[in-house]
Amino acid sequence: MKKLLLFCFLIFGRIIVIAQQDPLYSSYMQNPLLINPAYTGTYNMFSVTALSRWQWVNMSGAPVTNSLTAHSSIYKNKLGVGAILVNDRFGINNNYEGYGTFAYKINMGEKEDNVLSFGMQAGIMNYNFNYLQDGLRIKDEEDPNFPKGRINATEPNFGAGVFYRNEKLFAGFSAPKILNSKFAELNNGTSQYRRHFFFTGGYLFDLINFQVKPSFLIKYVDGAPVSIDINGSVLIKDFIWLGTSIRNLNTIVLMTQLQLTDNFRLGYALDIPINKVIKTSYGSHELMLNMDLKLLKSHDIGFRYF
């Protein structure tokens, strides 16, 4: 299996470095800050979320993503500030990203749960390519598409977004990294990160003994097919979320989230491929831990649906 995957990297290596893509997240609705800076400080509290994703388990060199986000409302809950750290590893790549985020919040009514937020983020993208990795054998060592040794490249980037929520609805649009960064030193051509656009939305329906929350995520990258996630989640007794998603008609996602206390939430997602391409995989696993704290007098800890 290791040799097979490395062979795939050799065949598609040039494609990978020409159009680098953002990490994939199934639990986007549990940590929207990863895809939209306008979510920063949307709730009047301090929030920290750690998320790890193991994609295509049982395949050597498959993507592993770890992220840590922290954000808070400040200045009488009119502003939000935060930070994002991401490490994304796959194959010969080991990439790091770090961003600071800022948001300006507008209350659309008398209630604090009716908020329109405009956000920005700025930081750096660092890409590492290890062509000396064990098991990677290049037949033609003079091939310019496969440089010798280790390659390291860092570029700045920035992004923006808008996010709206009330007691029943949320919607957002964002481009977290606006610049199409080029890393010319990676090969004789250009390695390019292409900007991503995200559109999300969801609504909460109150039924007799539980709540139902349908939501969606649409992702667009220039030169790649549009990606669509459709999700439906059920909240039982304000304690456990049970949900399922379908992505691009080729992946089913099963997910759950537990409200352990007023301050802690634990979430898990399992991606199950339903096509024949990744039959040998045990799926993808995603684990999320969130902590909400009251650090300022203006903060208020409470149950949140989005």
Q: What percentage of the chain has pLDDT greater than the value 70?
A: 82
Q: What is the mean pLDDT of the chain?
A: 85
pTM of the predicted model, to two decimals?
0.88
pLDDT in tens, 22-46: 888 998 888 999 999 999 999 999 9
Domains of the chain in sequence order:
2-293 (2.40.160.40)
Count of residues making up the chain:
306
**pLDDT at residue 3, as a whole number:** 41
**pLDDT at residue 7, as a whole number:** 37
Structure tokens belonging to residue 181: 């960064």
pLDDT of 13 over the 50 cut: no
Q: CA 288 → CA 4, 52, 110, 138, 215, distances in Å?
A: 31, 7, 33, 38, 19
pLDDT in tens, 88-142: 998 778 899 999 999 999 998 777 789 999 999 999 999 887 766 655 566 656 6
Question: By the 8 A CB rule, do 150 and 128 touch?
Answer: yes
**pLDDT at residue 144, as a whole number:** 61
E strands, 178-222, in order: 182-183, 191-193, 196-203, 205-206, 210-221
Residue of 269, 169, 159, 155 whose CA lies nearest to 211: 169
pLDDT in tens, 155-210: 899 999 999 999 899 999 999 999 887 765 555 445 667 889 999 999 999 988 89
pLDDT of 292 over the 90 cut: yes
pLDDT of 276 over the 80 cut: no
H/E segment holding residue 52: strand 46-54
* Ordered DSSP codes for 226-287: -EEEEEEEEEETTTEEEEEEEETTTEEEEEEEEE-SSSEEEEEEEEEE-SSTTTT---EEEE
**pLDDT at residue 111, as a whole number:** 73
